[in-house]
Amino acid sequence: MDVIAMELQNLNIGKVKIKEPLAHHTTIKIGGPADLFIEPSSVEGLKKVMAVVKKNRLNWRAIGRGSNLLVSDKGIEGAVIKLSNGIDELKINGTEITVGGGHSLISLATQISKKGLAGLEFASGIPGSVGGAVYMNAGAHGSDISKIVTAAHILFDDGTMKWLTNEELEFSYRTSVLQKKRPGIVVEATFKLCEGEKSAIVSQMLKNKDYRKDTQPWNFPCAGSIFRNPLPNYAGRLIEVAGLKGFSIGGAKISEMHGNFIVNAGNASAEDVLALIQHVKDTIYSLYEIKMETEVEIVGRK
């Protein structure tokens, strides 16, 4: 990896680190080292990174702000590419916006609300990036990204870039075509919004933020919702009725505020969280014969 890291540094593409702890880059503050950690400073730099990754046949994955992500204690093999500053440009053209994959979703919702554009109010409390939101079709408060995205510009690992339409992204509940069928990096996305009353938009955003503060444990490191809702049931409600709120294994604990959140209550490991996830699955199945599926993405060495 030293040779590849040197090659990338010589290309002046941004930050390049070896054995960078991913606990520094996930919202739950858990995760072992990435063999190679790269934070490109531009889209051109990102393209160069992918070319080097392909040439050296490295495994790779992209991350944004590290929410909805549980990284193994043993870390991730190959390259981890983080999109942030430099891949976060925002362009506004009437009610249509195009925004970089590294842009904070919360920051975007705030900026857009001040322009009197409606449609992103649901995202005002989602602590992820635009790229991650498109990748997993993030949503809240009865809406999701699929309702507003018209297209996304994707960098594939063969170095090609292509705009995929909403239909081609194949959105469904907390997923898209990018998760399995066509792995790629969301470089930018275009959203179709609508004009609204600025004060009403800001008011709704504040209500959404307050609701999250009142019902979800963002005062502790966490990854967001752990389980998909097994509709018509809700994961948090099933876990609460099963009496599992507050249950802990090691440093990982089921939040007492919301049953579908596992928090890092103090030096939790990924193994602690995985054991807690399995305990919830076993308990819910034994009580209700409902199979719980994880929403959080579990990645890294086993």
Catalytic residue among 20, 188, 295, 297: 295
Torsion 48-40-138-189 (CA) sign: negative
d(CA 21, CA 73): 9
CATH classification at residue 50? 3.30.43.10
DSSP-derived 3-state class of residue 164: strand
What CATH number does the domain containing 139 carry?
3.30.465.10
Task: Report yes or no on 269 lying in a domain.
Answer: yes
Torsion of CA 22, 26, 29, 32, to 10 degrees: -20
Write down the catalytic residue from 225, 255, 269, 297.
Answer: 225
CA 247 to chain centre: 25
The reply to whether 70 falls in a domain is: yes
Chain Cα centroid distance, residue 184: 14
Choose among 205, 191, 195: nearest CA to 100. 191
* 63 and 6 within one domain: yes
For residues 29 and 111, membership in a common domain is answered with: no
Contact 94/180 with Cβ under 8 angstroms? no
Catalytic residue list contains 295 = yes
Question: Do 97 and 76 fall within a single domain?
Answer: no
pLDDT for 3: 93
Q: Are residues 194 and 107 in the same domain?
A: yes
Residues in the chain, total:
302
- Active-site residue, 212 included: no
Catalytic residue (choose from 39, 104, 129, 174): 174
Q: Cα dist. 266→22, 28, 164, 238, 275 in Å?
A: 17, 11, 42, 25, 16
Which tokens is 91 given? 């362009």
Q: What is the spatial order of strands in the sheet that 184-192 belongs to?
A: 90-93, 96-100, 184-192, 149-156, 161-165
pLDDT under 50 in the chain at which residues? none
Same domain, 55 and 123: no
Instruction: Pull the structure tokens for residue 102.
Output: 């590294």
**Amino acid 141: pLDDT:** 85
pTM: 0.93
d(CA 258, CA 240): 8
Q: Locate tokens 């507050």: which residue? A: 246
Q: 225 catalytic, yes or no?
A: yes
For residue 34, what pLDDT is reported?
98
Preceding amide of 232 cis, omega within 30 = yes
Give the separation between CA 1 and CA 34, rounded to whole angstroms. Answer: 11
Residue 261 lies in a domain: yes
Domain finish residue from 167, 200, 233:
200
Domain-ending residue, one of 21, 52, 82: 82
* 110 plus 72 within the same structural domain: no
Residue 119: exposure state from Cβ atoms within 10 A (0-12, 13-18, ≥19): buried
Which two structure tokens, joined as six digits, stand for 296? Answer: 């959080």
Inside any domain, residue 206: no
Neighbours of 44 (CB within 10 A): 12
pLDDT at 219: 87
How far is it, in rounded angstroms, from Cα 216 to Cα 211?
Answer: 8
**Kind and range of the H or E run holding 110:** helix 105-113
Whether 70 and 7 share a structural domain = yes
pLDDT number for residue 145:
96
Can you give the residue range of the structural domain that contains 31?
A: 2-82
CATH code of 291's domain: 3.90.78.10
Q: State the pLDDT at residue 277.
A: 98
The span from the CA of 86 to the CA of 101, in Å, is: 10
Return the pLDDT at 1.
81
Is 104 in the same domain as 184?
yes
E strand intervals along 166-209 = 184-192, 194-195
d(CA 168, CA 165): 5
In a domain, 33, yes or no: yes
What dihedral do alpha carbons 163, 180, 261, 166 form, nearest 10°? 30
pLDDT tens for 36-85 read: 999 999 999 999 999 999 999 999 999 999 999 999 999 999 999 999 99
**Is residue 65 one of the residues assigned to a domain?**
yes
Note whether 141 and 167 are same-domain residues.
yes
Supply the pLDDT for residue 183: 92
Please tell me the predicted confidence (pLDDT) of residue 206.
Answer: 87
> Which residue, 166, 200, 234, sits at the end of a domain?
200
- Residue 212 inside a domain? The answer is no
Has residue 209 been placed in a domain? no
- What is the number of structural domains in the chain? 3
Judgement on whether residues 41 and 106 belong to the same structural domain of the protein: no
Query: Are residue 121 and residue 188 in the same domain, yes or no?
Result: yes
| 21 and 74 together in one domain | yes
